[in-house]
Amino acid sequence: MAGSMSEILSFIRDNRQFTVMSHTSPDGDTLGSALGLVHMLRAMGKEAEAVCSDPVPGIYSFLPGADEVKTGGEGIGYPAVIAVDCADKCRFGKVAKFFDRAEITANVDHHGTNDMYASANWMEETAACGELIYRLIKELKVELTKDMAACLFTALMTDTGCFAYSNVTEQTMKIGGALIAAGADNSEINMKVFRTSPYAKSMLQADALSRTKLYCDGKIAVTTVTLEDMARHGALSEHCDGIVEQLRDIDTVEIAIFIREDVTKLKGSFRSKRYADVSRIASVLGGGGHKRAAGYTCVCPMEEAVETAVRLGEEELQRCLKA
């Protein structure tokens, strides 16, 4: 653990107006945690807004408060800013200005690569961010509402892969049960997040998976998506979500690598299955994340990006074999 819950509790108690920030290309973890926190702050009689550099993906539009998230650099920018699920300040994107000009800042996160960049910090790598927000709610003795529960259950479900990943503990399951008891609809949230896919997304992912290449005796799987691919299928950036996990699920694969083209850069995602530490690979490339899930951005030709990622993946596998 780095920093402490007590730092964040004091931060919340001592301030009245908050801007809560999610990371770029938002997922269910950052959005659910941030919106759950906003609902908690408002229940305490404080002013709070949620901001994010990028729009809320369609699959998360059902989250209570999702329609209020201010994107693209919009927002009031309150004196106190809390970044949620952001491993570093590079993840702020267009809303970085709110953090930079804030009077006081906080950082609630679970990435081991977090460098404690705020005035108050709480990083706990073994817990999902949704767990951390839940613990704040309980410690502050705020009534857990149905809206908070829906947001935090979505955060837990997405970060744990429907409670299937190695970051799930007995405590995680207890919190999940408490959120269901408070009104979170497990089956409906699961359906909306994991069992509903636009046609364009299905076609884009089928195209990407058909181009998968295996390296290192099948232990590394790689595929890519270009802007041309997305345009051909009428797909959005958010429709790339899930591709890297499908690569990881190939039976022989330990390290999955997915690289997609953005307007001005490439975005890479890594996943590992059992033993490889992909955060080490991402760190070499200027990114970060968890041992089993990490990412980075770069500016170079796609072919070069793939060659570099595969080489670093092979080096990580060799390191693991020697350990």
From 139-143, 177-181, 288-292, the region with the lowest mean pLDDT:
288-292
- Per the CB < 8 A criterion, the answer to whether 22 and 60 are in contact is no
Cα–Cα distances in Å, from 126 out to 79, 123, 165, 297? Answer: 30, 9, 12, 25
Confidence of residue 167 (pLDDT cuts 50, 70, 90): confident
- Per the CB < 8 A criterion, the answer to whether 89 and 117 are in contact is yes
pLDDT digits (tens, 9 = 90+) for 15-68: 999 999 999 999 999 999 999 999 999 999 999 999 999 999 999 999 999 999
For residue 225, give the amino acid letter: V
pLDDT > 90 fraction of the chain, expressed in percent and rounded: 93
What is the pLDDT, as a whole number, of residue 16?
Answer: 98
Alpha-carbon distance of 99 to 106, in angstroms, equals 9
- Average pLDDT over the chain reads 96
What is the pLDDT, as a whole number, of residue 166?
Answer: 83
Q: Are strands 220-225 and 213-215 parallel, antiparallel or unpaired?
A: antiparallel
pLDDT digits (tens, 9 = 90+) for 213-243: 999 999 999 999 999 999 999 999 999 999 9
Alpha-carbon distance of 222 to 208, in angstroms, equals 10
Taking CA 62 as the corner, what is the angle to CA 15 and CA 143, rounded to the nearest 5 degrees? 40
Alpha-carbon distance of 47 to 29, in angstroms, equals 22
The domain 2-189 is placed in CATH, from the list 3.10.620.30, 3.30.430.20, 3.90.1640.10, 3.40.50.620, at 3.90.1640.10
What is the pLDDT, as a whole number, of residue 322?
Answer: 87
Alpha-carbon distance of 33 to 134, in angstroms, equals 9
Q: What is the reported pTM?
A: 0.89
Alpha-carbon distance of 91 to 243, in angstroms, equals 21
What is the pLDDT, as a whole number, of residue 323?
Answer: 74
What is the CA 180 to chain-centroid distance, rounded?
Answer: 22
Q: Where are the domains of the chain?
A: 2-189, 199-322
**């797909």: which residue's tokens?**
235
Tell me: pLDDT of 158 over 50.
yes
Taking CA 53 as the corner, what is the angle to CA 51 and CA 54, rounded to the nearest 5 degrees? 105
What is the pLDDT, as a whole number, of residue 1?
Answer: 46
Those residues with Cβ within 8 angstroms of residue 84's Cβ, 6 or more apart along the chain or in another chain: 20, 21, 22, 30, 33, 34, 37, 108, 109, 129, 133
Tell me: pLDDT of 321 over 90.
no
Count of CB atoms situated within 10 Å of the CB of 103:
11
Q: Which residue has the higher pLDDT, 228 or 167?
A: 228
From 146-155, 191-200, 218-227, the region with the lowest mean pLDDT:
191-200
Q: Are strands 17-21 and 47-52 parallel, antiparallel or unpaired?
A: parallel
User: How many angstroms separate the most distant Cα atoms in the chain?
Assistant: 58
Q: What is the mean pLDDT of residues 176-201?
A: 96
Alpha-carbon distance of 175 to 246, in angstroms, equals 28
Q: What is the mean pLDDT of residues 267-295?
A: 95
pLDDT > 70 fraction of the chain, expressed in percent and rounded: 99
CATH of domain 199-322: 3.10.310.30
From 90-94, 212-216, 308-312, the region with the lowest mean pLDDT:
90-94
